[in-house]
Structures are given as C-alpha cells and as structure tokens.
C-alpha cells in the first residue's frame, strides 16, 4: 500500500499494489502545471486508487481536449491527471507520494519541447513526442 497527499494534506489517497515505473514528461503543459522543467508521473489503474479525504477540495482543469488535471483547491497542489480516452488509468504525480518511492525512472517523452535550461543527463530512452505505446 502506498499513500500520498497534496501539500496541505487536505486531499489524501492510497494506491494498492506495486508502483509502475516513473515516466518523465517534458511537454510545455507539464512544465506550467508543475512549475519546473518536467512532470514525473506514475500510471495507476483507477481501481487501485482510493481517495481517503478531500474530495470536496479537488478541482479539475481541462488543460487540453480530453485531458484533465486534478489538483487541491486549497493549496493548489497537483495530484494526478487523466485522459478521457483512457478511463481506467490516471497519472499520479510522484512528488505527492509519502516516504521513499520504490520505483525506477523508465523514460522521457516530449523531449523535443523540453526546457532548454534543463539537460537530460541519464541514458533512459527518450521520445521526441508522445510515448509510442
């Protein structure tokens, strides 16, 4: 079982099962939403995600057609995103997880639009656009 929350801890959640590898997104939308050079996400099946508190505090922003970004309305902390085209999966923001994360980095995508001021210094696979799978 893995737990996490927003910055103010109004929204708290649990994830059942093992965590998938971490995906690093370098698109401009993730940079704006995270306030940093990229977004770090773990895909989670919605059946394995349980919101424990803060449902009334959640806000949804449709950042592009069919993509929703969910965040805490109190502190503004990003929690996860979801695609209407993939209703059974959400992308949980890794930084919201409590404690040590026992998951490895997997790949970088949207590297063609990455921040010019942040180098990628690892040997992980890189995809210039959307991941091909």
Structure confidence at residue 120 as a pLDDT band (50, 70, 90): very high
What integer pLDDT is reported at residue 132 of this predicted model?
64
pLDDT digits (tens, 9 = 90+) for 29-87: 999 999 999 999 999 999 999 999 999 999 999 999 999 999 999 999 999 999 999 99
- In this structure, the strands spanning 22-25 and 39-45 are antiparallel
Contacts 24+ apart (CB under 8 A), 100-104: 101/19, 101/22, 102/19, 103/19, 103/20, 103/21, 103/22, 103/42, 104/21, 104/22
For all residues of the chain together, what is the average pLDDT? 95
Task: Look up the CATH architecture of domain 2-114.
Answer: Beta Complex (2.170)
Give the neighbor-by-neighbor strand order of the sheet with 58-64: 58-64, 67-72, 78-83, 89-93, 39-45, 22-25, 105-109, 126-127
Residue ranges of domains in the chain: 2-114
């Amino acid at each position: 079982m893995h737990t996490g929350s927003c910055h103010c801890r109004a929204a708290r959640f649990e994830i059942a099962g093992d965590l998938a590898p971490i995906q690093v997104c370098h698109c401009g939308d993730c940079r704006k939403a995270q306030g940093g050079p990229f977004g770090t996400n773990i895909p989670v099946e919605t059946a394995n995600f349980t919101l424990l508190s803060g449902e009334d505090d959640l806000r949804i922003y449709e950042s592009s057609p069919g993509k929703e970004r969910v965040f805490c309305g109190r502190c503004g902390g990003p929690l996860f995103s979801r695609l209407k085209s993939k209703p059974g999966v959400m992308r949980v923001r890794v930084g919201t997880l409590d404690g040590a994360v026992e998951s490895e980095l997997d790949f970088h995508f949207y590297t063609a639009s990455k921040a010019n001021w942040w180098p990628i210094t690892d040997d992980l696979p890189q995809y210039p656009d959307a991941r091909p799978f």
